[in-house]
Amino acid sequence: MPVEAKKFQSIDKRWMSIMEKAADTKKVISCCSMDMLKSFLPELDEGLEDCKRSLEEYLEIKRLIFSRFYFVAESSLLIILS
């Protein structure tokens, strides 16, 4: 999971930079028409989907090892495993 953690941190950093520029813009229409949004958002969404898939695979592996984890919600399982 270290690779996915680095990937998520990179996505989070880019998201924060978008939000900082949006806060500086203060106007919705001009904010939504920023080229940064049009170029970064699809990439960020794809990266988040990859992270989510990796996390689901990790949780599935843990559930295969410990079958009682099948009865635990994902959020609770993350807390248990962390």
* Domain range list for the chain: 2-81
pLDDT tier for residue 23 given thresholds of 50, 70 and 90? confident
Which pTM does this prediction carry? 0.74
Tell me what pLDDT residue 72 has: 86
Written in H, E and C, the secondary structure of the chain is CHHHHHHHHHHHHHHHHHHHHHHHHCCHHHHHCCHHHHHHHHHHHHHHHHHHHHHHHHHHHHHHHCHHHHHCCHHHHHHHHC
pLDDT tier for residue 4 given thresholds of 50, 70 and 90? confident
